[in-house]
Chains A and B, each alone.
Chain A
């Protein structure tokens, strides 16, 4: 009975993140449009886009290799596994011990590694510029993320997300300077990793500004659908991660009743809505940066994360 519930909750988590990911993207787009006094596409437009893309033929460049065709699946698998490991509505997930926070970052790193390779496979200048900028951004964002994880893990005494969430939900945390710094650092990293303004703007097709779009320019049909879905999943992952670490209240424990799970899911939807609203507000309030100002932006995240970790090393209570 217990095993069945565990499998069900893990399966529900996997399907939930997959199902919700396009909705979150659609919601952020809608809010942004409303803030700009546009009507904006309907909330469900991302689902329609995915279905439309799936139905279309794939147009493959003449010299694309087998790797180019495999990479969308690899990216999707890596991102989906990572997203299913972040606790959302319930805490005691079946496979939560398979991979800790460091492994989740590395899984996303694998997805990015392959995406950057895909950008270079066809041998066009656009793919190269995208990949080259992506690895530059990643080479700063990933260490910032890891060090943020260090500081959070040292406060919670674990890199296991379930334990971190449990600790952060308890009264033992209190108000800490290092947590505040880690929160800001994580937010900056999330913006950079998800190709959001001010780091990247996937809505444009201006070669001077784009990073993510430049890499996937040669993709079409089902391949593009998978890549879009992966990036939507990644956004959901980061939002859930922030929710899980900094707003862990209301998550159902492992042995909870169905009603408790439903309550957790409802609360999770609320958290997504709130964070999505904040993201849309932030994105409309700020302008896109020049590419070579991004290192300063990410450098701030790196410094904050390092400071948070140092504070943790130096003092037990800050």
Chain B
């Protein structure tokens, strides 16, 4: 099996140079995305087979490439198989979507060669079994995605996004490099050797912080999230879907692999750090998302929220594992992994939907859209499913993972540590707030862009997207529903992963009455998505048939009533900014330092009054702006060195030599 995986990765890598030639051909993109679809689908199937294999074998191999005498170690265990499955499911969906969407690309040469390389890099990260291959693949993943972020380099916004992304990615890799440096100091690069070593408590603590910085910056944890809402929307939509839905999961993998697998037993304060980063990330991410009017930026910020939920689950798992309550740790860990899978499904779906809208209208600004449900009914349906799923509403999949996370929180009074006793309810409150705000955010996204009346000509004349893109979206929407009504299957499939990582599993779910999921005991909590779905569907159809039989089923069309003042101008509708204004008033003054300034024209002037809103990203202002300022200041000073005469340069070299000789002599 590992051979299949490796050959598929090799095939993806081989596709990259071939794509340069293909990009010159008119149908080149179709061939390339078709090939990627086949390979990722094969990888996805391989991973699933390995995950479902009852023996759960750990396969490993050493390749004769990489560092001399060390080679490249690869390994396929349950954790890698699960992430391989998620990556390639997302990859296959993105390739299918791109079969249609990729044809809109005006400069295919800037995307096509990097796309298969990017997929291959993500696969290698989860297969790598030594620090060197891991880091090389990690950096390769960053660089190929960076190349696609700046593929539309004529827009100044994208270039800035690429610049910030490159800086943050380098910072993240540096942090991981240091983490591995600390770990490898006693054991070497090989993961097996690191697993077997017994590093000191101080060292592992530092490693946890460094990994949180490194993987967290890739995943988008606040305050390292600054690059994500810039970079994810800048890439072509199928790549945005991969970056948001899948690459952030590779970052989660990095965190899980190092903290849960390579390090020895956790200490309780690790979980405190992870929880105190995860909870605020969830709430802040969705609050930022609510303030945006660019569809893809809303989605990118919402990824930050979901990453916060995943890390909260991981933090809970660490807390319980540190106290030896490994059966609750298994619950929290499974919830986090389930959310990894769910988020990959609905975030890819939503980004594809945004891509379809972008392809049909050329607009990402919600305030220029509207009424698309009439022009693009199928896309509108698929996106609606994605919006309901991501808002954590039953019977879709997002609800199940949040429900499991809440169940884990409800068990936390059992923890003896006082810090955690105070932190976990607060984090639970933040998660509840995030869930409610997410629903508001996606009502806004869907209501403004798909419902109402078209706000611009492009929105009024939009055309339904092509059938490949539609198939990809509808497939993902179907998976969202299936994962929501049959979560027991997924929980059981995740058992080997949780067994390896936290040493225990959730109770076996399939085979319980009516496929109910029961995390601990039936008297404590249980949820049955299938029955809720069937129950609601029956009630809805019963009501519909009763009403159509007994009551009037006549229908007349008429102009909108609107309290008797119908206005033909679509500008009177609520816009994205006005929709979020109440929430901005509640939360904005503290979190965004929001200020509204109403500018009234002087009397007798026909100029319209204007309402200006100022929002600040306080984290950017407090953290990044000062760093940028210091760097700018230092470079300005050093800049003098660039314009010296040859005599002065020679003097500098001479002085440097003398100083060095002095150092050596002393």
Query: Nearest residue in A to B444 (C-beta to C-beta)?
Result: A135
A56 touches B552 (CB 8 A): yes
Residues in A with CB closer than 8 Å to B516 are: 97-98
Given the known inter-chain contacts A54-B550, A73-B543, A159-B524, please indicate yes or no for A109 contacting B439, CB distance below 8 A. yes
Minimal beta-carbon separation of A290 from chain B (angstroms): 12
Minimal beta-carbon separation of B32 from chain A (angstroms): 37
Does B432 interact with chain A (Cβ within 8 Å)?
yes
| 8 A Cβ contacts from B421-440 to A | 421-422, 424-426, 428-429, 432-433, 435-437, 439-440
Does B100 interact with chain A (Cβ within 8 Å)?
no
Partner of B560, one of A61, A143, A295, A314: A61
Does A247 interact with chain B (Cβ within 8 Å)?
no
Bound CA span A235–B22, Å = 63
Minimal beta-carbon separation of A200 from chain B (angstroms): 13
Q: Which of A21-29, A100-108, A238-246, A251-259 faces chain B? A: A100-108
Residue interface bits B270-288, CB-to-A below 8 A is 1, else 0: 0000000000000000000
Partner of A125, one of B409, B551, B553, B574: B574
Residues in B with CB closer than 8 Å to A110 are: 388, 393-394
Partner of B535, one of A98, A135, A218, A312: A98
Partner of A60, one of B429, B556, B572: B556
A99 touches B440 (CB 8 A): no
Minimal beta-carbon separation of A232 from chain B (angstroms): 14
Does A140 interact with chain B (Cβ within 8 Å)?
yes
Bound CA span A129–B523, Å = 43
Minimal beta-carbon separation of B546 from chain A (angstroms): 10
A221 touches B528 (CB 8 A): no
Given the known inter-chain contacts A59-B558, A138-B439, please indicate yes or no for A123 contacting B370, CB distance below 8 A. yes
Does A12 interact with chain B (Cβ within 8 Å)?
no
Given the known inter-chain contacts A67-B451, A150-B410, A226-B547, please indicate yes or no for A123 contacting B391, CB distance below 8 A. no
Partner of B556, one of A58, A77, A150: A58
Residues in A with CB closer than 8 Å to B407 are: 159
A217 touches B574 (CB 8 A): no
Residues in B with CB closer than 8 Å to A54 are: 547, 550-552
Residues in A with CB closer than 8 Å to B579 are: 128, 131-132, 135
Minimal beta-carbon separation of A206 from chain B (angstroms): 10
Bound CA span A306–B423, Å = 12
A153 touches B410 (CB 8 A): yes
Q: Which of A32-40, A112-120, A260-268, A275-283 faces chain B? A: A112-120
Given the known inter-chain contacts A159-B407, A313-B422, please indicate yes or no for A139 contacting B560, CB distance below 8 A. no
Q: Chain B at the A interface: mostly helix, strand, loop or mixed?
A: helix
Minimal beta-carbon separation of A103 from chain B (angstroms): 5
Given the known inter-chain contacts A109-B393, A117-B446, A226-B547, please indicate yes or no for A313 contacting B373, CB distance below 8 A. no
How many A-B pairs have beta carbons closer than 8 Å: the answer is 276
B453 touches A63 (CB 8 A): yes
B432 touches A146 (CB 8 A): yes
Bound CA span A55–B563, Å = 22
Bound CA span A106–B561, Å = 32
Query: Nearest residue in B to A230 (C-beta to C-beta)?
Result: B543
Bound CA span A158–B525, Å = 6
A99 touches B413 (CB 8 A): no
Partner of B429, one of A57, A103, A163, A306: A306
Q: Give the size category of B's interface with A.
A: 35 or more
Does B578 interact with chain A (Cβ within 8 Å)?
yes
Residues in B with CB closer than 8 Å to A60 are: 555-558
A313 touches B410 (CB 8 A): no
Minimal beta-carbon separation of A98 from chain B (angstroms): 4
Partner of A147, one of B399, B432, B551, B556: B432
Residues in B with CB closer than 8 Å to A207 are: 563
A62 touches B422 (CB 8 A): no
Partner of B527, one of A59, A103, A119, A129: A103
Does A142 interact with chain B (Cβ within 8 Å)?
yes
A77 touches B543 (CB 8 A): yes
Does A196 interact with chain B (Cβ within 8 Å)?
no
Does B384 interact with chain A (Cβ within 8 Å)?
yes
B528 touches A99 (CB 8 A): yes
Given the known inter-chain contacts A63-B374, A222-B551, A292-B585, please indicate yes or no for A310 contacting B425, CB distance below 8 A. yes
Bound CA span A295–B433, Å = 13
Residues in B with CB closer than 8 Å to A119 are: 447
A158 touches B570 (CB 8 A): no
Partner of A106, one of B399, B580, B582: B399
Does B532 interact with chain A (Cβ within 8 Å)?
yes
Does A309 interact with chain B (Cβ within 8 Å)?
yes
Residue interface bits B165-209, CB-to-A below 8 A is 1, else 0: 000000000000000000000000000000000000000000000
B556 touches A160 (CB 8 A): no
| 8 A Cβ contacts from B519-538 to A | 522-528, 531-532, 535-537
Partner of A113, one of B373, B391, B406, B433: B391
Residues in B with CB closer than 8 Å to A289 are: none
Minimal beta-carbon separation of A205 from chain B (angstroms): 7
Does B108 interact with chain A (Cβ within 8 Å)?
no
Minimal beta-carbon separation of A265 from chain B (angstroms): 22
B537 touches A77 (CB 8 A): yes
A125 touches B573 (CB 8 A): yes
Bound CA span A221–B399, Å = 33
B562 touches A222 (CB 8 A): no
Minimal beta-carbon separation of A163 from chain B (angstroms): 5
Bound CA span A160–B523, Å = 7
B373 touches A65 (CB 8 A): yes
Query: Nearest residue in A to B550 (C-beta to C-beta)?
Result: A54
Minimal beta-carbon separation of A247 from chain B (angstroms): 22
Partner of B562, one of A57, A126, A158: A126
B373 touches A99 (CB 8 A): no
| 8 A Cβ contacts from B584-608 to A | 585-586
| 8 A Cβ contacts from A53-88 to B | 54-63, 65-67, 73-74, 76-78, 80-81
Residue interface bits B376-419, CB-to-A below 8 A is 1, else 0: 01000000100010011110000100010011011011000000
A217 touches B563 (CB 8 A): yes
Residue interface bits A300-315, CB-to-B below 8 A is 1, else 0: 0010001001101110
Query: Nearest residue in A to B548 (C-beta to C-beta)?
Result: A222
B447 touches A97 (CB 8 A): no
Minimal beta-carbon separation of B412 from chain A (angstroms): 8
Residues in A with CB closer than 8 Å to B573 are: 120, 123-125, 128
Bound CA span A135–B523, Å = 33
A100 touches B526 (CB 8 A): yes
Minimal beta-carbon separation of B149 from chain A (angstroms): 32
Does A154 interact with chain B (Cβ within 8 Å)?
yes
B403 touches A103 (CB 8 A): yes
A291 touches B582 (CB 8 A): yes
A61 touches B561 (CB 8 A): yes
Does A136 interact with chain B (Cβ within 8 Å)?
yes
Residues in A with CB closer than 8 Å to B154 are: none
Q: List 7 A-B contacts (CB under 8 A).
A: A57-B554, A59-B556, A81-B536, A128-B574, A139-B440, A150-B428, A163-B524
Assuming A121-B447, A142-B436, what are 7 further A-B pairs, CB within 8 angstroms? A76-B539, A81-B536, A124-B562, A132-B582, A135-B443, A136-B583, A139-B439
A-B pairs with lowest CB-CB distance, top 3: A128-B574, A123-B452, A77-B540
